[in-house]
Structure 1
Amino acid sequence: MTSTIYVDADACPVKSDISLIAQEFMVHVRFIASYDHHISNREEESGEWIFVDPGKDSADLYILNQIKRNDVLITQDIGLASLALAKGVYALSPRGTEYREESIQTALNFRYLAARERERGNYGKGPKPFNSHDRQNFQKCFRRLLSKIEGV
């Protein structure tokens, strides 16, 4: 089964990891980014780069229009992950958390509550800084996911 890996690449901290692991599994990678995030030096990331119009949701809309059942999505965006899951896609965060149908609604509810608190002027600490443990966890979970897909 040939899947494509779609990466919401604007702020993805594991692009080079995705490239290396995708090469191990011989899976095609598409990095989707806004022209706002265009970088000319991408030697570490092998794969196809697609740049879309600047704008908050341009990369998300491109991904949703292209992604199909059994593809893989790497994103930090819970909203994008929830829409992709409805299409039969595997979704993983850059920290290695696999988004699943049975738990995505809870994540969306927490996101909504956090947004409401920010509207009231209550700001939390934000996410923890991305560290080497997060990277290792992503690598392990990404390999496990691709192995599972390959065995299907």
Structure 2
Amino acid sequence: MQGPLTIYVDADACPVKDEVYRVAGRHGVHVVVVANAFLNVPREPWIERVVVSDRLDAADDWIAERAGPQAIVVTADVPLASRCVKAGASVLAPNGKAFTDSSIGMALATRDLMQSLREAGAVTGGPKPFSPKDRSAFLGALDRAVVRLRRHASGA
């Protein structure tokens, strides 16, 4: 038996929390906002705030332990995305890019390469600035993921 569809948000640095609330509210989906510190979230019965310890990866561990086929995880953290994909969850980056079985290996390799370059002193820049186009792509991707999982759960 699968649980209800739930969106888990790795919230500490997530730029699309408001978009998650908008899509979840429209579809009646439970949202769990997970952070290492208190965050304000809308006071809605379908939004749950979870504050974990400030231990390194505490939020990641909490989300990964609950991720499964009826979960959508929103994170930019590639190792967390990998754990959640392996658990069968749908995983979206804040720019709308889906982490999948076929893409997660390359995402991990790229992350590890960039980390090695930074540790060696190479200037690698940072991520490109978050844009309105990224926000729009995320909204569409999250909406499609919710619809797809709902259809799958209903057997349609």
Mapping for residues 113-152 of structure 1, pairs under 5 Å: 113-152=113-152
Is contact 1:5-1:30 (8 Å) kept?
A: yes
Once the two structures are TM-superposed, the CA of residue 124 in structure 1 deviates from its matched residue by 1.1
Among all aligned residue pairs of Structure 1 and Structure 2, give the percentage whose two residues are the same amino acid. Answer: 35
Distance 1:142 1:42 in 2: 19
Once the two structures are TM-superposed, the CA of residue 109 in structure 1 deviates from its matched residue by 0.6
SS at match of 1:111: helix
Counterpart of 1:106 in structure 2 is 106
* Structure 2 residues not aligned, in runs of 5+: none
Is contact 1:16-1:44 (8 Å) kept?
A: no
Is contact 1:75-1:94 (8 Å) kept?
A: yes
Is contact 2:8-2:34 (8 Å) kept?
A: yes
* Structure 1 residues not aligned, in runs of 5+: none
Distance 1:44 1:134 in 2: 26
2:19 maps to which of 17, 42, 56: 17
Distance 1:124 1:12 in 2: 22
TM superposition outliers: structure 1 runs of 4+ over 4 Å: none
Distance 1:88 1:42 in 2: 27
Task: Tell me: CA distance 1:99–1:21, structure 2 relative to 1, closer, same or farther (3 Å).
Answer: same
Residue 42 (1) aligns with residue 44 (2)? no
Is contact 2:5-2:29 (8 Å) kept?
A: yes
Distance 1:19 1:25 in 2: 10
